């Protein structure tokens, strides 16, 4: 499940629609940040950007 959520939340960054996952206004990412599942900077770090989400 986590891998699917990562894929969904990272897609706008991967395709150049947003610089970070939190910057994409149409995402549920903010809810997951508030719930403590993700850090707010997830999806904008170099480490995450190097991951392959296919």
**Per annotation, catalytic residue among 7, 26, 32, 38:** 26
Contacts of residue 32, Cβ cutoff 8 Å, sequence gap at least 6: 5, 9, 38
26 catalytic per annotation: yes
* 33, 40 contact by CB (below 8 A): yes
**Rg of the chain in Å (alpha carbons):** 10
As annotated, the active-site residues are 26
């Amino acid at each position: 499940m986590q891998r699917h959520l990562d894929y969904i939340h990272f897609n706008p960054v991967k395709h150049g629609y947003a610089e970070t996952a939190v910057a994409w206004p149409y995402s549920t990412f903010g809810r997951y940040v508030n719930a403590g599942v993700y850090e707010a900077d997830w999806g904008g770090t170099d480490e995450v950007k190097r991951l392959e989400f296919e």
